[in-house]
Structure 1
Amino acid sequence: MTDRRQALTPDALSMMDTIARTGSFAAAARELGKVPSALTYSVRQLEDALDVLLFDRRSRQAQLTAAGEELLQEGRRLLAQMDAVANRVRRVSTGWETQLTIAVDGVLSRLTILELCEAFYAMRPNGGQDGPGTRLRLRTEVLAGTWEALVSGQADLAIGVPGDSVLASGIELRPLGDMAFVFAVAPHHPLATFDGPIDDAELLRHRAVAVADSAQRLSPMTVNLLPGQDVLTVPTMHTKIEAQLRCLGCGFVPEPLVRDHIRLGRLVVKQVQRQQRVATMAYAWRAASVTQPRKAPQGLALQWWLQQLESPATRHALLNPQSGLVSDVD
């Protein structure tokens, strides 16, 4: 048992994650700065310590066995927990945090987030001459990546997480609101003149544009893609909209983000037989615990941001990127 515990180091788990993510020992070795033979030797040592076969040697690719899949999934979970601990212990015990990291889903209003940052920096706590002194760090995430940033300890506040996220221990979640999505194509796209609601069989004939989930360790989310459909994958929702404006594909896009494009005829909204998508979004943060007296209390910077998110006007502005934020920021 001791040998097994000594073999399951963070480096070994990270190595497994890199091999699985890159798809080959050679690619993983390049990313890790090792020669392939050294990586192969490390894997064999791990297999010997655990007395299992982690990779199918008959495959030319890095094909995991069932035992390897189990180790990969559990290893990713353990790495996320270690990251969470390491990030939490760096937080300041009282007062204004040294740094506050905010993960924001890419469909939300960037202008509103920056207006909130502007109001935060303009504060003068206790009537002093200086601002709060907390360094803000913004992260743009996609789909499950926003939630992962919070639960892994990489972010203190996550805005735009899926509303049905399964709560982890010590996480508080509040509703942000709903964002409607519409199926849209460029006016010169073949589907632009399609008569009647478009069924899945017809959609399958056309390339979809999809935004890649930014989650690295949680299971990535796939939304409204059909099995076997040609897909152009892009990094952000704004890139997806640009791709659809250029007739590179079709797909669902947030109605508030494309409202002007629709009004000006640059995009055409089409009815589809599958259910129209409405994204229910929330915001979440790590809660202070009354049962753990040695745990750091909630910082003042986080308290300020949560106070802003309690405002219906702020939530509306975040979900309607073209509206901007009203001037009632506290």
Structure 2
Amino acid sequence: MAFSSDSLAIFLAVLEKGSFSAAARKLGRVPSAVSMAIAQLEAELDLVLFDRSTRKALPTSAALALEPQARQVICQLNLLDAQALQIHQGLEKRLSIAMAPELQTGRWSQPLQVLAQEFPTLEVEVRSATQAEAVQLLYDGEVQLALVFERPGIDERESFLEAGSQLLIAVVAPNHPAAQANGVPLAEEQFAEQRQIIVASGEPTGSEPRMVLSRRIWLTDSYLATLDLVQNGLGWAYLPQPLVQPLIDAGTLAEVRFDNMTSRLRLWIDLIWIKSRPLGLGAQRYLQVLRQVFEKDPMRS
């Protein structure tokens, strides 16, 4: 095999610097060693790579043709070295995060931009699950992190990071009875009888309890499905402000008006993990960056 990691580095250094002596200075070697390595490479390839008729080492057409692939191979070798080092330092193969559907419009994805740059080989999996399901996935070891609404009390088995808040708005279609009450806010008994659409699996208890207000419930498995049902006038729902505010402004959705409470519900968010399971390098870095994001602006959804 003519090319090795060493001969590739020398070949590309000569291409970049334009002379054997300049390449030698870059590599910390003597010029004769660089010249000899190129000569040996040319002999093994049976190709002339540099024109030595002048003081400069001018690349031949053969060298220029090999350059793109050589750079790609060096890049892959560097990536392999970096991955091996990261694995040695504790980088997991995959970072899995479960989150409640209502939180999918938040700032949780911003740290992933950093992870994509720093750990390009790290696989990332984001799983949508109701609040109860996300916590169960965490305890079952299916995910390392769970992004959920803040729960009452503290579970000693968990560690957590406060991750800002999410503003939810109670909305209906403009033609829904709850939106056509002649400006009169709905009394508690009235909105308790209006169909509410929530994101939960199997039972309404799978959702955040503070969001379940009606006696008549329809369930979906995503906030987009919920939004579609609401827009078709089939019920009202609490949905994330970033998702529905443009629709409210455009008049295609209306805010529900309650007589004894606000239609806007701000819930705090926690990112939780299990204390007894050490987090990998990717999860640790995700937590670090997420903490920085919310320290700058904790109230923003």
Deviation at 1:186, TM superposition (A): 0.8
Cα shift readout 1:104-154 (whole Å, capped 9, x = no counterpart): 221224585555434312216xxxxxx3x3322211112222222222222
So what's the TM-score if we normalise by structure 1? 0.55
SS at match of 1:257: helix
Q: Is the 8 A contact 1:185 1:269 kept in 2?
A: yes
Structure 1 segments, 4+ long, off by >4 Å, are 110-115, 313-319
What is the aligned residue count?
A: 210
Q: Is the 8 A contact 1:211 1:237 kept in 2?
A: yes
SS at match of 2:239: strand
Match of 2:95 in 1: 100
Match of 1:242 in 2: 228
Distance 1:115 1:177, change over 3 A: closer
Query: Among 108, 112, 126, which residue is 1:117 paired with?
Result: 112
Percent identity of the aligned residues? 20
Cα shift readout 1:165-221 (whole Å, capped 9, x = no counterpart): 544444211211222222211111122121322013222443221211489xxx634
Distance 1:261 1:180, change over 3 A: same
Deviation at 1:309, TM superposition (A): 1.1
Distance 1:284 1:318, change over 3 A: farther
Match of 2:177 in 1: 190
SS at match of 1:310: helix
**Structure 1 residues 168-177 or 297-306, which shifts more?**
168-177
Match of 2:290 in 1: 309
Q: Is the 8 A contact 2:164 2:268 kept in 1?
A: yes
Cα shift readout 1:17-57 (whole Å, capped 9, x = no counterpart): xxxxxxxxxxxxxxxxxxxxxxxxxxxxxxxxxxxxxxxxx
Instruction: Please tell me the residue identity of whatever aligns with 2:118.
Output: M
Q: Distance in 2 between matches of 1:145 and 1:316?
A: 28
Match of 1:176 in 2: 163
Alignment of 1:35-50 (within 5 A): none
Alignment RMSD, CA only? Answer: 3.1
Instruction: Please tell me the residue identity of whatever aligns with 1:244.
Output: V
**Structure 1 residues 164-173 or 258-267, which shifts more?**
164-173
Alignment of 1:119-134 (within 5 A): 119-123=114-118, 131=120, 133-134=121-122
Q: Distance in 1 between matches of 2:269 and 2:187?
A: 27
Match of 1:152 in 2: 140
Match of 1:220 in 2: 206
Q: Distance in 1 between matches of 2:164 and 2:106?
A: 18
Distance 1:164 1:112, change over 3 A: closer
Q: Distance in 1 between matches of 2:267 and 2:164?
A: 8
Deviation at 1:266, TM superposition (A): 0.7
**Mind listing any 5+ residue stretches in structure 2 that lack a counterpart?**
1-86
Instruction: Please tell me the residue identity of whatever aligns with 1:272.
Output: F
Match of 1:65 in 2: none
SS at match of 1:153: coil
Match of 2:149 in 1: 162
Match of 1:279 in 2: 267
Distance 1:314 1:109, change over 3 A: farther
SS at match of 1:252: strand
Match of 1:266 in 2: 252
Q: Distance in 2 between matches of 1:254 and 1:225?
A: 17
Q: Is the 8 A contact 1:178 1:319 kept in 2?
A: yes
**Structure 1 residues 305-314 or 162-171, which shifts more?**
162-171
Cα shift readout 1:277-301 (whole Å, capped 9, x = no counterpart): 332211112336xxxxxxx743211
Cα shift readout 1:222-242 (whole Å, capped 9, x = no counterpart): 532333x2x321111121112
Match of 1:33 in 2: none
Instruction: Please tell me the residue identity of whatever aligns with 1:135.
Output: E
Distance 1:149 1:214, change over 3 A: farther
Deviation at 1:94, TM superposition (A): 5.6
Is the helix fraction higher in 1 or 2?
2
Distance 1:285 1:313, change over 3 A: same
Q: Is the 8 A contact 1:144 1:213 kept in 2?
A: no
Q: Distance in 2 between matches of 1:179 and 1:109?
A: 10
Match of 2:64 in 1: none
Q: Is the 8 A contact 1:142 1:236 kept in 2?
A: no
Q: Distance in 2 between matches of 1:267 and 1:312?
A: 31
SS at match of 2:279: coil
